[in-house]
Structures are given as structure tokens and as C-alpha cells.
Structure 1
Amino acid sequence: MASFHRAGILSAFLISAAMLFAPASGIGGKSSASAVYAVPEHGQNGEIGKDDSEEPHPRLPHYRRALPTAEVVIDAGHGGIDGGSSHEDVLEKDINLAVARKVYTRLSRSGIRVVLNRTGDYAPSDENKWHRSPSRHRRDLSQRSQLTKEIETRLLVSLHVNWSSSPGARGPSVLHQKEGQSALLAFFIQDALNRQQGRSGRSSVGKTFYLLNVVKQPAVIVELGFISNDADRRMLTDSRRQEEVASAIASGVRNYLLFR
């Protein structure tokens, strides 16, 4: 009996080790292959493939997969064919990506595990081979939300730029879910951006936004400013000022993680 017990423990150890060092892969064809991960070396696990002809050991728990984890997912809005809002040759998608990269760098340097879902000028809908909707926009949004299901995450921050028919409209705004933790995250980011831009805007519930309705974790949409406003547009297209915006967002995220 003792040798049989030791053999069972050894089997469990070997299976756990195999799970820890297995290569990473997507799930059911739904992964965002180009997402960038910043995680400690010991924290990036991969999926464990399953041979359907084999049944799990009756004495051991059956693990279907081991996934990477991240505290923060950064969603760089729009991309590729979808330029978002614009002013002459200035496109929202380019601003979103530039600021998202800077937020990613600042959070990862702070030791926060972070994922950036878009690293270049392409639409996430191009990677979506699993959602059969005829709407490219819906495939794009479902691909963005899927990342929060594939990996264990604590929150999502989606970056966008506002537009208004009134050229005087300016300043950042943060939209959140109708949920306390999302509202708290929005408060911290809004406060940091207000301080950075000298504004006094308030965060609010984004009732009609797909991501805020389908993502289960606390999620916010950050409108960085107005592309239709001269002052905001100059700020959002200047690399140095983008660093200031990114620093404010990263500060808000860090404060939220410390507070909760």
C-alpha cells in the first residue's frame, strides 16, 4: 500500500510539472495570437492538450488547460480598416495604439502583469475565425472581449478618443459598468487624467457599450480627449504629451489595484 501511495504522489507531481512547462497555445481557435504578454517568467503557462481517446486517471484531478494570467488587459481601440474617429489625416486608431503601448510599458515596468491586445495597425476582427456574425464590427468586439475569457485577468482598460460636432468639447471621460469595482477603477483613472489635463470631468455608466456589457471583470472605456478639439488633438498627437496621458492612466490603474 505504501509503494502504491508513493507512486500516486509521483504521478500527480509529474502531471503538475508537465502542465507548468507546457508551451502556450490558443483555445478552440479563439485566441488573439498577436496579443503581447508581460508576466513573470514562472507565470506563463500553456494549454494542456487532451487526447479524446484517453480518459483522465480515476485517482487524479483532470486539468484541461493551464493558462497565462494577467492583472490588466489593455484594449487599443479600433485598428486596420476601422480608423475610428478622425480629423483630417489624424486617426483615432493611431492615437489609441500609441498611448496603449506607453501604458503597457509603464505598468509592466511597475511589475504588473499586463496584456496588450493589439500591437500594430490591424483590426482584431481579422483574427476572429470563430464568430460567424456577418458584422465585422461585432466580430471585432467579440474578439476583444474573448481575451478576458481565455486568460485569468482582473480588469480591462479600453482606450479610445472622443469626437463632437462642437469644437469646444474637450477633456477626458471614463465610462464604466453598472458595478462597484468598475466604477472605482473609473474613478481612479478619471481623477488621474483630470489632474494631468487640468479638467474636472466625472466618470459615468456606459450603458450601451458592448465591452462593458459582456466582460465579466471590472472594465472601463477611457476616452482620452476629443480629436475634434484643437488643444486635445495637439496633446494626443504629441509623443511627449502621450507619455503624460499614459502615466496618468497607469497611475489610476495602480491606485485601484492597491486600494481594492
Structure 2
Amino acid sequence: MQLPTPFVYKKRLSVILLAVLAILSAGESCSAAAASPSNERDEQLPHLFFSRPVVIIDAGHGGIDGGTSYKGILEKDINLKIAQKLYLFLRSSGYEAVLNRSGDYALSDDNRWLKSSRHRRDLAQRKSLADELPTTMLVSLHVNWNRNSNKSGPVVLYQNVAESFLLADSIQQHLNSLYRSSRLPMYGKPFYLLNQIKQPAVIVETGFISNERDRKLLCDSAAQKQIASAIADGIMAHLTAW
């Protein structure tokens, strides 16, 4: 396995320190506000089904929403296959995990309360699961695309919260080892889920479908298993460290 150069480690350490200090100085809190007494009974019901906080695995897109694509290869299918493998890795390691879709369907179809666009209904439905369950984190799986076919490798996006950054960095490092890359996690400021979810959340772009090497990995079952394993290792490393 090719290791990053010492410069990359120094750069990573500097970025980690600066990012954490910036987040903390902005007054952001990693803890959610306490529930009011009137809501306590309703909020306790889903908690009875889980012995520990849950890792929500968000399989991006689905159904009518195929996500990005390349010659008939659809992002939604790749996301689901990696998500299913990630779910099995976490469950087999003793972690509580929930997969928000188990087949090719749009989560927006289940959202009949929000009078808005299909896209917004889909995102709101993904967020609502984190509100209903005793969630410790949400990991949203996606596939990247760029008109420059040389762009490659995994990218992990984080919230403006210290724990989200540290989770993203842990997953990024494990994926970097698999892809032999040296990327750093990125702040995902414009993304709905990262802005709306109270718990630590990250978006994992598992590779570029527009890049030939990445595409072969993303479409290969054995490679999907390796990608899911790397993400699981990053999640578990973060959870055991904190």
C-alpha cells in the first residue's frame, strides 16, 4: 500500500486543527437541544426498538431520480449496492444501522405532507428519518461526476460542526488508502442534508462515474465491497475514538 508523503500528513494535521478551531469558535454545538416535556413521550417510542444510537445509511437518489449517469450506468444503483454492503459490515460488527431504502424507489413517494417539488420532498423524507430515530450520525452515499474525465477519487463532505468534520476525515483517510489518493474532506456548505440534520452527518462521494478507473471500481461487486468496508472502517474508527 502506497502511503502519503510526510508533507500530506503535515498538511492534513494543519487542516484538521484549523477546521476544528474555526467551527468551535463559530459557536456551533455538537449536541442537540433537549426535547420539551410535551414531546418526550412521542420521541421515546422509536427509541424502544434500538439498544444504542443508530447510524443512518442514506442511499442517494432512487426510483424516478437516477442521479448522475454514464451510458446507462445509474448512480442510484451504485449507491444502493454500496449502501447495502455498508449496512451488513456495520451490523456484523455489532453497530446499530438503518438503511433508508432497500430497493429502487423514490423516498419522495412516501412524503405526502409537504406541498413542494419532488426533489424537496425526497430530501425532507431523508431528514425526517434522522428526526424519528435515536440517530448518532447520518452517512449519505453518492457518486460524483465532472466534465473533466481526469478528475477521480473519493470526496467526503462535512457540516459546519466539529464532529462531522472528524467523521468525514476518518472516512476520507480510509477511502484514500483504498484509492491511493490524498484528498482532504471538504466543507459541504450548500447541501440540504448537511444544513438541516441536527446530528453529525457527512456526504460520501465514492468516486467519479466520469472517470474510467473510478467507474470500473464503482461497477464491480468486489470493489463495491472494498469501498463499503473502507467507509465502515472510517465510521467505526471515529466511534471508538470518541
The two structures share one fold, judged by TM-score above 0.5: yes
Q: Which residue of 1 aligns with 2:168?
A: 186
> 1:190-248, CA deviations, whole angstroms, 9 ceiling, x for partnerless residues?
00000011011110110000000000000000000000000000000000000000000
Q: Which residue of 2 aligns with 1:247?
A: 229
Q: Which residue of 1 aligns with 2:123?
A: 141
1:228 is aligned, of 205, 210, 221, to 210
Q: Which residue of 1 aligns with 2:182?
A: 200
In the alignment, is residue 66 of structure 1 matched against residue 42 of structure 2?
Answer: no
1:152 is aligned, of 118, 130, 134, to 134
| Distance in structure 1 (CA, Å) of the matches to 2:227 and 2:113 | 35
Q: Which has the higher contact order (CA 8 A, sep 6+)?
A: 2
Q: Which amino acid aligns with 1:114?
A: A
TM-score scaled by length of structure 2: 0.80
2:158 is aligned, of 176, 179, 200, to 176
| Distance in structure 2 (CA, Å) of the matches to 1:63 and 1:137 | 32
Deviation at 1:94, TM superposition (A): 0.3
TM-score scaled by length of structure 1: 0.75
| Distance in structure 2 (CA, Å) of the matches to 1:78 and 1:63 | 33
- The list of structure 1 runs, each at least 4 consecutive aligned residues, that deviate by more than 4 angstroms after superposition, is none
2:62 is aligned, of 75, 79, 89, to 79
| Distance in structure 2 (CA, Å) of the matches to 1:189 and 1:109 | 19
| Distance in structure 2 (CA, Å) of the matches to 1:165 and 1:259 | 38
Q: Which residue of 2 aligns with 1:119?
A: 102
| Distance in structure 2 (CA, Å) of the matches to 1:139 and 1:78 | 12
1:23-34 pair list within 5 angstroms: none
| Gap regions ≥5 residues in structure 2 | 1-39
Tell me the percent identity.
54
Deviation at 1:66, TM superposition (A): 1.6
Find the residue that maps to 2:126 and give its secondary structure.
helix
Deviation at 1:130, TM superposition (A): 1.4
| Distance in structure 1 (CA, Å) of the matches to 2:54 and 2:239 | 9
Q: Which amino acid aligns with 1:234?
A: K
Q: Which amino acid aligns with 2:138?
A: L
> 1:125-165, CA deviations, whole angstroms, 9 ceiling, x for partnerless residues?
011111121x0000000000100001111000000000000
1:18-57 pair list within 5 angstroms: none
RMSD (Å) for aligned C-alpha atoms: 1.0
Find the residue that maps to 2:41 and give its secondary structure.
coil
More helix, by proportion: 2
How many pairs does the alignment contain?
A: 198
| Gap regions ≥5 residues in structure 1 | 1-61
Q: Which has the larger radius of gyration?
A: 1
